[in-house]
Amino acid sequence: MDRLFFLTSNSGKLAEAKDFFLPLGYEVKQFLIEGEIPEVIEPQSDNLQLVASSKIQQAAAYLEEIGEKGSILVEDAGLFIDELNGFPGVYSASTLEKIGLHGILKLLDRNANRGAEFRACAALWDGNKTTLVEGICRGIITTEIKGSGGFGFDPIFVPLDEGTGRTFGEMNKQEKGLYSHRSKALNLLKNELC
Ligand code: IMP
């Protein structure tokens, strides 16, 4: 089975990528060097693609340095809320940490425009070249927290395509995988690997 090193500290993202790539014959492993996630510098940019491509270049250099063989996956995601001009976007992780889901709901208060989208930008380095793709999932932000599944913003995000009005937090991983930004991005990468 081929190995795919995923540079991430997010266990939710790692689990989703493992489920996605296993049937394709890839074992997704967290990218660790001597048990630690290698430190990469995240460029200050509001562009997810730029962030992902800088991170994959740094990760590829690390892999070469330690003499390992394998492909590398990097994926940067964020929640872009229409009414807030795309905020929190690339600041999703720090915003979630600082104000939590309740804080996001409060920012929107009773605002009728609850449109938002998740974007995931994935980069794959196959040992020779980097492929960059983006997956988008449109949805709406709920008025209350619903469900305890998934991670991050899942309990306040209802994907539009799914049709039952459930949040990602009310779905299991397989159900979320049918609609998520991450699956869309990884599906595009699949063609590169197979
Ligand atoms: P990052 O790509 O790991 O930096 O993610 C940025 C922030 O968005 C983190 O707080 C994640 O928890 C959140 N996030 C990323 N992907 C998802 C998702 O699929 N569902 C919910 N939250 C997500």
Which pLDDT tens digit goes with each residue over 134-182?
A: 999 999 999 999 999 999 999 999 999 999 999 999 999 999 999 999 9
What is the C-alpha to C-alpha distance for residues 57 and 42, in angstroms, rounded to an integer?
A: 11
**pLDDT tens profile 61-91:** 999 888 888 899 999 999 999 999 999 999 9
Instruction: Give the gyration radius of the chain's Cα atoms.
Output: 17
Q: How far apart are the first and last CA of the chain?
A: 13
Q: Give, for ligand 1, the residue of 6, 8, 10 to mutate: max count of ligand atoms closer than 8 Å to Cβ.
A: 10
Ligand 1 pocket check for 182: Cβ under 6 Å: yes
Ligand 1 pocket check for 76: Cβ under 6 Å: yes
Sign of CA dihedral 159, 102, 50, 149: negative
**76 annotated active-site:** yes
**Domains delineated in the chain:** 2-193 (3.90.950.10)
Q: How far is CA 110 from the centre of its chain?
A: 28
